[in-house]
């Protein structure tokens, strides 16, 4: 039964737990410009009158510390229905820290927890709170790290296609010749499935142009960050001159609405990307979707599939959600209610309130990182 207005009116946020977990990857991972062997999960749990709300993101422990040291006092005692009021106050409070980066990720994770809490208080799923546009959203399998052997790449991509996921993305950007060989191998492995590549800004303009021509012959249809995502002129060059079937995509490092406006104004991408765990949570993602609607240009959700499944179903601008190997593995291990793809799509369970997830704290405890002290 849906709580009445009077019941929720008087609720205030009376508890907030912040924690961080450094979880080793299953294999060493690398892309065009970075290597890593662990992923840090930051979790925020809010409570109001016995109902708990969950937010999370993939960030640094500094993000968790900022939430605990600075944002908690704003959130505590706030009205769980008045999300934008709380978010505005958080935005103002981080002015002197600089919003992009750690502060934006802290704000984003708290925002997600606020939306989850509100949906739970109203006893509806997050997608229903936002207003569903569809029941399920397409995904693409994402991994294919530059650190993978040929066998590891083939096993991962073959597995996704076998599971009914008809599009996959691989990392490139280390060595143009090696990248072309790996792309050819990936195409042989996946048959007719869609093939995406992501250079994470690893190429120069001329390298990226030359690679785009070669990749087109392997049927690549998506070239993400062929050059740095800060190089809007470079992205525009690629967008204008890469073979037409290839979409140029970027936007995962967007932390505020102005970033996306600048990228769209520069006509730098065919498909914009955004990550709710960075760009301002649910609130920020809805803003990006509205900017895409007004262009119009499609939007693709970056990683954290358990959050973006709801947003993807609420925002018709979303073309697909990135089903990122690292995050899928962590979300399956540590959240009850984690969605399993069917026919290449994720469908939020609208019978479960909020995000539909329960954090398995005891399973995560062995990876917990202390926020204070050494
Ligand atoms: Mg990327």
* 305, 324 Cβ separation under 8 angstroms: yes
Q: Which domains does the chain have, with CATH numbers?
A: 5-123+360-369 (3.30.390.10), 128-358 (3.20.20.120)
The residue ranking higher by pLDDT, 5 or 228, is 228
Residues 368-374, mean pLDDT to the nearest whole number: 81
> ∠ CA(208), CA(252), CA(306), 5° rounding?
130
Q: How remote is the CA of residue 85 from the centroid of ligand 1, in Å?
A: 32
Q: How remote is the CA of residue 248 from the centroid of ligand 1, in Å?
A: 12
pLDDT digits (tens, 9 = 90+) for 254-311: 999 999 999 999 999 999 999 999 999 999 999 999 999 999 999 999 999 999 999 9
* Beta-ladder partners of 134: none
pTM of the model: 0.96
Helix, strand, coil % over all residues of the chain, rounded to 5: 45, 25, 35
SS3 category, 93: helix
Q: Which of 6-10, 110-114, 238-242 has the lowest mean pLDDT?
A: 6-10
pLDDT digits (tens, 9 = 90+) for 144-179: 999 999 999 999 999 999 999 999 999 999 999 999
Q: How remote is the CA of residue 22 from the centroid of ligand 1, in Å?
A: 21
Q: What is the mean pLDDT of the chain?
A: 96
Q: How remote is the CA of residue 31 from the centroid of ligand 1, in Å?
A: 9
Going by C-alpha positions, the residue among 264, 211, 260, 275 that lies closest to residue 238 is: 211
Q: Is the pLDDT of residue 7 over 80?
A: no
Q: CB neighbours of 203 closer than 8 A, spacing ≥ 6?
A: 32, 173, 176, 211, 226, 227
Q: How remote is the CA of residue 249 from the centroid of ligand 1, in Å?
A: 9
Distance CA 362, CA 299 (A): 36
């Amino acid at each position: 039964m849906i709580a009445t207005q009077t019941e929720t009116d008087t609720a205030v946020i009376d508890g907030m737990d912040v924690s961080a977990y450094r979880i080793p990857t299953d294999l060493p991972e690398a892309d065009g410009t970075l290597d890593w062997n662990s992923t840090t999960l930051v979790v925020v749990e809010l409570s109001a009158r016995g109902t708990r709300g969950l937010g999370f993101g993939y960030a640094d422990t500094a993000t968790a510390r900022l939430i605990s040291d600075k944002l908690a006092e704003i959130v505590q005692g706030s009205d769980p229905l008045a999300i934008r009021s709380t978010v505005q106050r958080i935005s103002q409070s981080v002015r002197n820290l600089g919003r992009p980066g750690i502060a934006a990720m802290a704000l984003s994770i708290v925002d997600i927890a606020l939306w989850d809490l509100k949906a739970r208080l109203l006893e509806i799923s997050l997608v229903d709170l936002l207003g569903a546009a569809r029941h399920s959203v397409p995904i693409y399998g994402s991994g294919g790290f530059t650190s993978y052997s040929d066998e590891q790449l083939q096993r991962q991509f073959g597995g996704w296609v076998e599971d009914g996921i008809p599009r996959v993305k691989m990392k490139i950007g280390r060595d143009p010749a090696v990248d072309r060989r790996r792309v050819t191998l990936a195409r042989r492995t996946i048959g007719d499935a869609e093939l995406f590549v992501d250079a994470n800004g690893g190429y120069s303009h001329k390298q990226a142009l030359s690679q785009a021509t070669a990749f087109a012959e392997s049927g690549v249809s998506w070239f993400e960050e062929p050059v740095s995502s800060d190089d809007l002129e470079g992205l525009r060059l690629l967008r204008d001159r890469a073979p037409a079937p290839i979409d140029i995509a970027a936007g995962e490092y967007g932390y505020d609405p102005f970033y996306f406006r600048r990228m769209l104004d520069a006509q730098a991408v065919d498909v914009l990307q955004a990550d709710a765990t960075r760009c301002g949570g649910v609130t920020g993602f809805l803003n990006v979707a509205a900017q895409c609607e007004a262009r119009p240009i499609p939007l693709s959700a970056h990683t954290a599939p358990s959050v973006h499944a709801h947003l993807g179903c609420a925002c018709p601008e979303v073309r697909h959600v990135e089903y990122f190997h690292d995050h899928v593995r962590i979300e399956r291990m540590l959240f009850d209610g984690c969605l399993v793809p069917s026919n290449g799509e994720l469908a939020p369970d609208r019978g479960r309130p909020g995000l539909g997830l329960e954090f398995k704290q005891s399973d995560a405890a062995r990876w917990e990182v202390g926020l204070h002290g050494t």
